[in-house]
Amino acid sequence: MKSKEIVILGSTGSIGTQTLEVVRSNEDMNVRAIAAGSNVDLLESQVREFNPEMVCVFDEEKALELKKRISNVKTEVVSGMEGLIECATLDSADIVVAAVVGMIGIRPVIEAIKAGKDIAFANKETLVTAGHIIMPMVKKYGVKMLPVDSEHAAIFQCLNGENSGEVDSLLLTASGGPFRGMTREQLEDIQVEDALKHPNWSMGRKITIDSSTMVNKGLEVIEAKWLFDVSFDQIKVIIQPQSVIHSMVQFKDGAVMAQLGTPDMKLPIQYALCYPERRYLEGERLDFCKLSDITFEKPDMETFKGLKLAYEAGREGGSMPTVLNAANEKAVALFLDRKIKYLQIADIIEECMMKHSIVDNPSLEEILEIEQRVYNYIDDRY
């Protein structure tokens, strides 16, 4: 059997390190390149363990530091956007795990697709902002876009062998995050530490904050629209606090398919890397006799208005999802730096969306320019 030659963009992160765990337990998987922002300590140990051809450190100074540290190893060290793209398009690779955080992933993903690589896709901000550019390219270059985000991986599994024309709606489940059930008044004084405590999943800092504000679910609604080519009316969000059902698909005849499991990202990661094969995966199994409850609620889109704003941005289309995403990336960074209050995250997104005049079908350059403008606007004010 042919081995799997893998590139991991974002190898030091939550998805990246779990991907490496999957690689460790599959003998036919090789890591060809890894990339991260600046964490050279972890990159060094990953290089020594996995022996990739290439490693990219986005930060140039840190790249020089890594180069010195691993001068006794053959791995080539590259940096910056050019370096990310070199890793993403490496000749020897079959599949690129897109697991950087934020829309920094747009260009590497586009170049990987052009180079004919399949994509194991976690980096939702990239599809939210550039889905209209990326999905037609996936078709044109005949590559596979394999979702890693647990909800989308669930939907992808529910759609296996089905006719997409027979889908009625996608039922995207959400845990509701740590503040489910709270009022706006109660959210007024939320601190960084409170928002970083997710009830069911352990993830990177940005997505953990996004999960608490429900902006994550909003980004996932837009991600689902692009991955599965459905309208926004066909995507419904349902709160399922125990995170047992990872998402569902309702078909035209009323049948509902669901994918269930314990919350473990290694399942969607391994499934994407091995698709269409399903392999053994170590870990806890669902025990239905011990499972006391699976409950459902309607999302509260007034308190958690980030979700409502995402539906609006998605429906308005064009450059609006870029504004939503860029404003959120910046606002979350400011919140993590303790420069703004928790509820300001959604307020800032709303303000940026209100100020924006939509550009239809924005080009990559326009997307990146609008991103920068949104960053500058927020920097000037907060």
Task: Round to whole Å and give the CA distance between 228 and 163.
Answer: 12
Strand partners, 320: none
SS3 content of the chain, % helix, strand, coil (to 5): 50, 15, 35
Task: Round to whole Å and give the CA distance between 267 and 242.
Answer: 17
**Is residue 125 near Mg ion by the rule CB under 5 A?**
no
The stretch near ligand NDP (CB under 6 A) out of 20-28, 200-208, 308-316, 344-352 is: 200-208
Measured from the CB atom, is 265 or 343 closer to ligand NDP? 265
Q: What is the 3-state secondary structure (H, E, C) of 209-237?
A: HHHHHCHHHHHHHHHHHHHHCCCHHHEEE
The stretch near ligand NDP (CB under 6 A) out of 157-165, 204-212, 228-236, 252-260 is: 204-212
Q: Given candidates 20, 104, 113, 187, which one binds ligand NDP under the rule CB under 6 A?
A: 104
The stretch near Mg ion (CB under 5 A) out of 112-120, 148-156, 261-269, 320-328 is: 148-156
CB 261 within 8 A of CB 150: no
The stretch near ligand NDP (CB under 6 A) out of 69-77, 117-125, 296-304, 306-314 is: 117-125
H or E stretch covering 239: strand 235-239
**Is residue 218 near ligand NDP by the rule CB under 6 A?**
no
Q: How many residues does the chain have?
A: 382
Contact string (CB under 6 A) for ligand NDP, positions 30-49, x = contact = -----xxxxx----------
Q: Is 330 exposed, middle or buried (0-12, 13-18, 19+ CB in 10 A)?
A: buried
Strand partners, 98: 9, 121
**Is residue 306 near ligand NDP by the rule CB under 6 A?**
no
**Is residue 204 near ligand NDP by the rule CB under 6 A?**
yes
Q: How far is the CB of 254 from ligand NDP (least distance, A)?
A: 30
Decide which of Mg ion, ligand NDP, none touches 124; Cβ closer than 5 to 8 Å per partner kind: ligand NDP
**Is residue 12 near ligand NDP by the rule CB under 6 A?**
yes
Q: Given candidates 33, 55, 100, 227, which one binds ligand NDP under the rule CB under 6 A?
A: 100
**Is residue 129 near ligand NDP by the rule CB under 6 A?**
no
Q: Given candidates 90, 187, 203, 237, which one binds ligand NDP under the rule CB under 6 A?
A: 203
Q: Given candidates 86, 118, 149, 300, which one binds Mg ion under the rule CB under 5 A?
A: 149
Q: How far is the CB of 230 from ligand NDP (least distance, A)?
A: 20
For residue 154, give the nearest of 244, 248, 223, 222 by alpha carbon. 248
Measured from the CB atom, is 88 or 346 closer to ligand NDP? 88
Decide which of Mg ion, ligand NDP, none touches 52; Cβ closer than 5 to 8 Å per partner kind: none
**Which residue's Cβ lies closest to ligand NDP?**
13
Cis preceding-peptide flag for 263 (omega within 30 of 0): no
> CA dist 117 to 15, 40, 78, 180, 289, Å?
19, 26, 20, 39, 43
**Is residue 123 near ligand NDP by the rule CB under 6 A?**
yes
**CA-based radius of gyration for the chain:** 20
CB 370 within 8 A of CB 359: yes
The stretch near ligand NDP (CB under 6 A) out of 19-27, 97-105, 336-344, 365-373 is: 97-105
For residue 12, give the nearest of 45, 36, 44 by alpha carbon. 36
